[in-house]
Structure 1
């Protein structure tokens, strides 16, 4: 077993595809396949499950990742120490984060990072779900409710606020004197039994009862429903600010404060590509909020 084969293994593990790994390594995909096969032969175990969807780590592959990444980290640190120069970031970095933050807070920073580092592949997964860093579902995550256990490094990024909003055409002739009047209005929110984070149960927090008349797992869809006069919905202020036509409803009563948290795995937090990418996105979020 040699480090060069481990380097090929890491690129395939991070991207899930031979072609992406080959592009990052500036070789053809046949070379990547051959080097991965050589490593599997040396270890006498299968490291990937191959399928038309790509390469997925086996249990053996997941066990190998921390050691491979530790070797990579030491190699890069040595190169920086000896060479005394800034190293370009290479390979894939996958971040899981809420849809609102992904679409409204980090896109410019993500684009700038990839311009600065042409061989970096930044994958932003904005799905309504949690991510297991120990299972390598993401390299790091931005969350609303930080996990309580695991070998994780957790840092608060910043607070943000949400309020109940409505379109003026919907609100015309429908004055609300207090949250008790919400029962007489159509509400827009998350699908109740698909709320994956308790911090997203906004309607219950402002005193609304029952299920929303219009619901979606997507916050962007909820925004569009409010803009379409579908009803009243709780939206982050930073999203509503892009649509000046929206009006806050009972703003002092319905104001909610949440926070974004950065979550990294202890084994990979200090890898250059993860450390610098997570810092850039977190800094961008703080600056926007």
Structure 2
């Protein structure tokens, strides 16, 4: 047996069937079927009970899945430790961040970083979900969070302030009578749904988005009023701030990495550079400046 056998069994268990497991591993479903049958034949045991609802691991299957988890953790640990021994700022650096931070804030900073460190190749992983740095899904994360994982190390760079914005024609109107544009219930753990309670009747919500990305464009288009990060809205000529800052929507802006990578030259160079750049933007991020720069 080899590592790929363990990966296949774990993927089948996690996805509940061969088709989705094969998609996850990038192989053909018929290949996955033959490989799983071959593994069971070699071992002389059944690893999965086949049900109409999906594949359920047997007791031996559970043991093999647990072994696969341990093996993957060891491979990830080795990779992190090897990467952490870099001494010169060069090589690949994978950065994960939500889409809302990319265009307005992050791209100009990345351009300046690349100019200073041309030997570092940046890979930007735009994802609303939290990628696992312990599994080496990414090297560095820029996240809005009030409680980042205790398994990571990093710095809180600023507090992201939020307020309600709209076009000027909404100025002076009662907010509970205006149409609203908001992120959906599943965004930020339902924080926005809780925020709307007592502020806007459900029938006044005319557009929901499954991400913060596009929220400002919807408000600028006049679809309705809505909560926006102050750094994104300030300086936009068509937008007017209609409320004070909303503390219940604020969140820390964190720059995070795994402890095994914090001394890697490319990671250290990026985190030092990002800290300097974002701290300079702190008045804008925390809603204390109307400057768009």
TM-score band, normalised by shorter chain: 0.5 to 0.7
Aligned residues: 223
1:156: how far off? Answer: 1.0
Local SS of the residue matching 1:218: coil
Corresponding residue for residue 3 of structure 1? none
Aligned: 1:90 with 2:91: yes
Q: Are 2:94 and 2:139, in contact at CA under 8 Å, matched by a contact in 1?
A: yes
**C-alpha separation between the residues in 2 aligned to 1:186 and 1:276?**
45
Local SS of the residue matching 1:259: strand
TM-score, normalized by length of structure 1?
Answer: 0.65
Q: Which runs of 5+ in 2 are unaligned?
A: 9-24, 28-67, 283-293
1:228: how far off? Answer: 0.9
Q: Are 1:129 and 1:196, in contact at CA under 8 Å, matched by a contact in 2?
A: no
Corresponding residue for residue 13 of structure 1? none
Corresponding residue for residue 272 of structure 2? 279
TM-score, normalized by length of structure 2?
Answer: 0.64
Among 219, 222, 230, the residue aligned to 2:223 = 230
Q: Which runs of 5+ in 1 are unaligned?
A: 1-40, 53-57, 78-86
1:190: how far off? Answer: 0.5
**C-alpha separation between the residues in 1 aligned to 2:254 and 2:75?**
28
1:137: how far off? Answer: 2.2
Aligned: 1:195 with 2:158: no
Q: Are 1:166 and 1:233, in contact at CA under 8 Å, matched by a contact in 2?
A: yes
Corresponding residue for residue 157 of structure 2? 157
CA 261–184 in structure 1, closer or farther in 2 if over 3 Å, else same: same
Q: Map Cα deviations across residues 225-251 of structure 1 (whole Å, 9 max, x no partner).
A: 1111100011111111241221111x3
Q: Are 1:152 and 1:264, in contact at CA under 8 Å, matched by a contact in 2?
A: yes
Q: Map Cα deviations across residues 153-179 of structure 1 (whole Å, 9 max, x no partner).
A: 14211123221111124x2xx733xxx
CA 205–238 in structure 1, closer or farther in 2 if over 3 Å, else same: farther
RMSD of aligned residue pairs (Cα, Å): 3.2
Aligned: 1:110 with 2:105: no
Among 51, 55, 59, the residue aligned to 2:26 = 51
Q: Map Cα deviations across residues 17-54 of structure 1 (whole Å, 9 max, x no partner).
A: xxxxxxxxxxxxxxxxxxxxxxxx9xx644988638xx
